[in-house]
Amino acid sequence: MTPFSAVLFDRDGTLVADVPYNGDPERVRLLPGAAEAVALARSLGLATGVVSNQSGVGRGLITADDVRRVNERADALLGGLDTWVFCPHTPETGCDCRKPRPGLILTAAARLGVPPAACLVIGDIAADVLAARAAGAHALLVPNPATAPAEVARFADQSAPTSSPRSARRSRGRRGRGRLGGARRPLAGHGRLRGLRRPLRGRGRLRAARRSRTGRGRLRPTRRPRTGPVLLLGAR
């Protein structure tokens, strides 16, 4: 049995590609493995939510309604999470909700009806880990190319394992497994929800490769286009 009752994901850089101050739902792109990670949490009977800083509202660059529309688009692509909570304030405001402070975690846990200590917070920067700690929750850092190396080193005991680009390419070539994260797809650790290995992602169609100098052709695998179910659940 998993020790958790809920998984709270960061949004930008963890579930979706980080588009600064994005207010356009059409620009939402899921990161590889994101929908699978959410589905894994649901399959284990865990509540799911998203907690994100959206200071673009406080800066006057986007509106709270823009954030909600982007969240709704991401929610549809991810198959539906139980709650979405965001902080609209700038860092200078000194609010209690902006990560690394615990407000978002506490609010999401209350909405889901679970204690913060039973929540696992998954994010890509130190603020996500520190917010979890401040709320008394558990944390998992999922590094991506934008994550500062010092943060990866600081939270090494709470980080999903990463691999070098070369070994990652070999690994993808052999297994084709998806991971949640950025361009290097670095969530190898979402199986820690229960210590389970992630489901294998099947290879798609075969296509003819470029011919070699000898004139022989090879067949190489490609990935299927990824689609997600549309289902909206829970409080906003």
Q: Enter the tokens of residue 57.
A: 């509202």
Rounded distance, CA 219 to CA 55, Å?
Answer: 48
Residue with tokens 């998992």: 140
Residue 87: closest CA among 34, 51, 41, 46:
51
Q: Cα angle vertex 53, ends 49, 55, to 5°? A: 150
DSSP 30: B
Which residues have a catalytic role annotated? Answer: 10, 12
* Burial bucket for residue 187 (CB in 10 Å: 0-12, 13-18, 19+): buried
Rounded distance, CA 222 to CA 204, Å?
Answer: 5
Q: Cα angle vertex 9, ends 109, 16, to 5°? A: 145
